[in-house]
Amino acid sequence: MLTARRLRYVRVKRPFEMVVTDHGLAVLRVCRAVLGPVDADDAWSETFLSALKAYQDLPDDANVEAWLVTIAHRKAVDVTRARGRQAIPTDDLPQPPAAAQTEHDDDLANALAHLSPKQKQAVAYHYLAGLPYTEVAAILGGSTDAARRAAADGIAALRRAYPGAATRKGETR
């Protein structure tokens, strides 16, 4: 009876495979929005490899999606820094391999590329990952109001630049 009372408060974590299934798409959307389609898959993989290592130490009451988006944010920063350290190509470039067919919108990717890094991240974390502004602010390192302003400015810039953006009640430009 004593063992049953002790075990009553023990919680078993969900299998990590279920975490990947539930949150993988949101993390991939964030990676694509922040890094673009080329580096997104690598950042997604690195995110879940790091998460797998740390998952056992995650508190039971933690917001798993916010935790994963935080890891993805750090991996995106790593990729951006690594990109800055790469050698500059010369005039004689080899032929690039054929690009894999992916379903993405080039116009939207171009519009996202013109946002400031903070706006791009705020839009991705709030609108694509669905995180509240308090968690977006914690990830970006600022206030809730600053995160809300960056996301609003980013969305406004996207509406001006993206030709497929809706203007009012389903009308397109």
**What does the pLDDT look like over 81-127, one tens digit per residue?**
887 777 766 777 667 766 555 566 677 778 888 899 999 999 999 98
pLDDT of residue 152: 95
Q: Which domains does the chain have, with CATH numbers?
A: 14-83+104-161 (1.20.140.160)
- CA 61 to centroid of chain Cα atoms: 21
Q: What are phi and psi of 172, to 5 degrees?
A: -110, 160
Give mean pLDDT, residues 128-135.
91
pLDDT at 148 exceeding the cut of 90 = yes
The identity of residue 119, as a single letter, is Q
Buried-state track 65-82, b at ≥16 Cβ within 10 A, e below 16: bbbbbbbbbebbeebeee
pLDDT of residue 108: 76
pTM: 0.57
- Residue-wise pLDDT tens digits, 34-83: 888 888 999 999 999 999 999 999 988 889 999 999 999 999 888 888 87
By C-alpha distance, which of 120, 105, 109, 170 is closest to 150? Answer: 120
Q: Contact 27/74 with Cβ under 8 angstroms?
A: no
Q: Is 120 helix (H, G, I), strand (E, B) or coil?
A: helix
Q: Which of 47-51, 133-137, 162-166 has the lowest mean pLDDT?
A: 162-166
pLDDT of residue 168: 46
